[in-house]
Amino acid sequence: MLQKPRGTRDFLPDEMDQRREVEGIMRRIARTWGYREVCTPEFEELELFTIRSGEGIIQEMYVFEDKGGRKLALRPEITAPVLRMYVNEGKTLPKPLRWFYFADCFRYERPQKGRYRQFWQFGIELIGADSALAEAEVILLARDLLAASGISFSIHVGHLSLMRSLLAGLDPDDQKKIRMFLDKKDTGGLAAYLLSQGRDDLSARLTALAECRSLDDIFALTGDLPDRHRIEELFSILDSSGLEYTLNPGIARGLDYYTGMVFEIFAENLGAENQVLGGGTYRLAHLFGGEETPSCGFAVGFDRVMVARGEQPPVPGIVVGVAFTPGGRDWALTVAAAFREAGIRTELSLSGKSIGNQLSQIARSADFALIIGDRERDQRQVTVKNLRTGGQDVLALAEAIQEVSGSEPR
């Protein structure tokens, strides 16, 4: 028997109903904040992803050559594609641009619970706004999105300037390695690396910084910073918005394009892979041939949100099954069409067996059965059987539709 590729999943209808429901909630919230949906290709030129992160990232991607010899990659994330699109198509649009996307990404990772090779992100990018208020908007929208999707979570907000001030003077590659250790919370690895570089003095200061929970403590460690005022303003907006969050200068983020505020959100009831959202302030447009454009955004790990929601009752909706005699067939088709027109999910019996047999099959999944025999055909009526109560009425078509659509979904 053939199987799906490692790290991918199939979704049956019940699960897809749940996913579409949550996706709908997220779209609705994003729209109420003024964000509009965009879509980019599933694959891109490989260079789009290596230009900032270097060739190392190739190991974590699905990379291939097409028949024309072009080096392409399945997108591992959607921020770089969206910024490429902005440079190609959106430069002249009035800024700031508020865009969102919901799409799948591909990463060549070791699969485990909550970590897949194909996964979905719901993300937003706020392009062309450079202020504490813009950063606060992105964080508050993230909070609203996740709250509406029905999970419990905690928000951690940090700023890369804080860590960078301690790393000033180190070469960029060293800084990058150190951020990788911090991102993976690998304190042992970090200490060993710093020791090997003769910079074990940094170990204690970095650990102390990561543990700071107030701006005063942080600035005592880092000394005064050029963007101190901006950082203070951001946290003051978050405080006056009543956001519950943890100030966490230890957040390093795995991706290379962040420049300032960074934030991560963790779901409370997931195991090791509990980060359901990551984002921050970044600059990418200038790397793709555009002007320096301050931007800010985040992506929700949609699959992890679905796991964090746990088992949910089925998405409600009324189901109607239509049983009919051979002579009633054409009227049954007309009746089914009218029910569908009214937005009711209507399934025609396809078995051609007796009415009794059709009814027992319909009763397995439907809330109502419509029974159409020769009498109903002649009178242009419908027998509506409520499968929950067993009650039954012969009604005109319009009344039948009203009866069913007025009932409470199970």
Chain residues in the site for ligand HAM (CB under 6 A)? 77, 79, 107, 109, 114-116, 119, 121, 123, 125, 254-255, 275-280, 282, 297-299, 301, 303-304
Secondary structure (DSSP) of 283-323 = --GGGGTS----EEEEEEEHHHHHHHH-S-PPPP--EEEEE
Question: Does residue 249 have a cis peptide bond before it, meaning omega lies within 30 degrees of 0?
Answer: no
Q: CB nearer to ligand HAM: give 167 or 305.
A: 305
- Reading the block at residue 278, the tokens are 């990551």
Q: How far apart are alpha carbons 124 and 297 in whole angstroms? A: 5
Cβ proximity to ligand HAM: between 159 and 304 the closer is 304
Min dist. Cβ of residue 335 to ligand HAM (A): 45
CB of 74 to ligand HAM, least distance (A): 12
- Which distant-in-sequence residues (6+ apart) come within 8 Å of 94 by Cβ? none
Distance CA(323)–CA(362), nearest Å, equals 8
| CB 260, min distance to ligand HAM, A | 11
User: Sheet holding 392-396: strands in order across?
Assistant: 345-348, 319-324, 368-372, 381-386, 392-396
Terminal C-alpha separation, the chain: 37
Which residue, 253 or 385, is less far from ligand HAM as judged by CB? 253
Residue 280 in contact with residue 261, Cβ under 8 Å? yes
Name the residue nearer to ligand HAM (CB basis): 101 or 193.
101
Nearer to ligand HAM, 75 or 377 (CB): 75
Question: Which residue number is nearest to ligand HAM in terms of Cβ?
Answer: 301
CA 241 to chain centre: 24
Q: Which of 252, 132, 238 is nearest to 180 (CA)?
A: 252
Rounded-to-integer distance, Cα 399 and Cα 290, Å: 61
As measured in angstroms, the least distance from the Cβ of 267 to ligand HAM is 9
Nearest to ligand HAM of 282, 331 (CB atom): 282
**Residue with Cβ nearer ligand HAM (83 or 382):** 83
Cβ(340)–Cβ(332) under 8 Å? Answer: no
Alpha carbon 50 to chain centroid, angstroms? 24
How far apart, in whole angstroms, are the C-alpha atoms of residue 151 and residue 305? 7
Rounded to 5°, the CA angle 392-395-401 comes to: 95
100 or 339: whose CB is closer to ligand HAM?
Answer: 100
Do β-strands 97-106 and 43-45 pair in parallel, antiparallel, or remain unpaired?
A: unpaired
Whether 303 and 120 have beta carbons less than 8 Å apart is answered as yes
- Residue number with CB closer to ligand HAM (89 or 109): 109
* 3/10 Cα distance (integer angstroms): 10
Shortest approach of ligand HAM to residue 283 CB, angstroms? 11
The answer to whether 306 touches 291, Cβ cutoff 8 Å, is no
Minimum gap (Å) between residue 81 Cβ and ligand HAM: 10
Nearest distance from residue 297's CB to ligand HAM, in Å? 3
Closest distance between ligand HAM and the C-beta of residue 14, in Å?
21
> Please, what is the minimum distance in Å from the beta carbon of residue 49 to ligand HAM?
11
Kindly tell me which of 257 and 324 has the beta carbon lying closer to ligand HAM.
Answer: 257
Q: How far apart are CA 183 and CA 287, in angstroms?
A: 24
- Closest separation in Å from C-beta 45 to ligand HAM: 17
**In the complex, minimum distance from the CB of residue 216 to ligand HAM, in angstroms, rounded to a whole number:** 28
Distance CA 74, CA 372 (A): 52
Please, which residue, 9 or 229, has the CB nearer to ligand HAM?
Answer: 9
